Amino acid sequence: MTESLRPSGEYENPFQGQQQHASAPVNPEWPPPPAYEPPTPAPAPVPAPKKRARGPLALLAAVAIVAAAIGGGTAYGVQELTGSGTVASSSTSTSVVPTSQKGTVSGVATAVSPSIVEISATSNAGESTGSGVIITSDGEIITNNHVISGDSEIKVTTSDGKSYTAEVVGTDSKKDLALIKLQDASGLKAASLGNSDAVKVGDEVVAIGSPEGLTGTVTSGIVSALDRDVTVSTDESQGQQQQQGGGGQWPFEFGGQQFNGDTGSSTTTYKAIQTDASLNPGNSGGALIDMNGNIIGVNSAMYSASDATSSSSAGSVGLGFAIPINTVKSDLSTLRAGGSD
């Protein structure tokens, strides 16, 4: 019966099959007719995926370029582009430590040690040893005023053993800072100066200096306090007395008590970063560094027992103080102009 209906239907109404195909999509249970399958992949959607594919790739490429511009190479780039006379400055988020060694004391030491020097100063009162931080590739060095105060001859030794003669550019005894300049120096590795305002209590730090003339000594610890009022002498004779005594310690006052000798009648007070990183005589003027390799302070004072009158009986007890690097940066123009003293 089915076979007789089909031929008669097709013969009596030749368009009946086409009508069935046209109405087929109305019933969602019916599959799409084969006659309409070829036009389904319309040409219009083809370029659309290509556009969507290009968009994210271009965005990712742009993001990668920006990330590279603001990443770990920033400090180096600033120094190279701005010239040898300009200080490389960065936030504490900028890392000058290789990625493979980031967050390690050894990584910080490797990256920053070439920027730390030993300073040997000679005066009529004797000799003293301190440390300093290279801030420009042509030999500008920041140190403590009490390291070079009243000295007639200053010798500087870099981490690679080279020796230079240095001249005083400017001093600021009120902040216990001094700027010296190496003669005939070039191509030195300048340190990256960080942002001491971003430092928090508990942050890990590294100290590099030349305690007792032991060049390039590295110690580590944490920031144990901030904004400590430390009082130091501004009298040149006090520094000479300390040098002559051989202890190499700088007298300072904290909490109403005097340490490492008498500060005298002429003093100044500054806000200091306190650290438990080991500091000893000779660390003065050296660097306190964050774990990204940025200088956050200039080591300036250490506590020692009240009866420690010589270097043999003096030693670190985990109470050291550093001048915040933002204080240094704000004073650079004054020091370069000859200082305020």
Catalytic hit among 90, 113, 146, 173: 146
Long-range contacts of 262-267 (CB under 8 A, 24+ apart): 262/238, 263/231, 263/232, 263/233, 263/238, 264/233, 264/235, 264/237, 264/238, 265/235, 266/233, 266/234, 266/235, 267/231, 267/232, 267/233, 267/234
DSSP secondary-structure letter at 182?
A: E
Contact between 273 and 321 under an 8 Å Cβ cutoff? The reply is yes
Alpha carbon distance 259, 306 (integer Å): 6
Other Cβ atoms closer than 10 A to 267: 18
Whether 21 sits among the annotated catalytic residues: the reply is no
Catalytic hit among 176, 235, 276, 331: 176
Alpha carbon distance 152, 164 (integer Å): 15
Catalytic hit among 284, 300, 311, 316: 284
Whether 284 sits among the annotated catalytic residues: the reply is yes
109, burial (CB in 10 Å: exposed 0-12, middle 13-18, buried 19+): buried
**DSSP 3-state of 237:** helix
Who's near 214: CB < 8 A, 6+ residues apart? 282
DSSP for 53-75?
Answer: HHHHHHHHHHHHHHHHHHSTTHH
Whether 146 sits among the annotated catalytic residues: the reply is yes
Alpha carbon distance 42, 121 (integer Å): 84
Q: Which residues have a catalytic role annotated?
A: 146, 176, 284
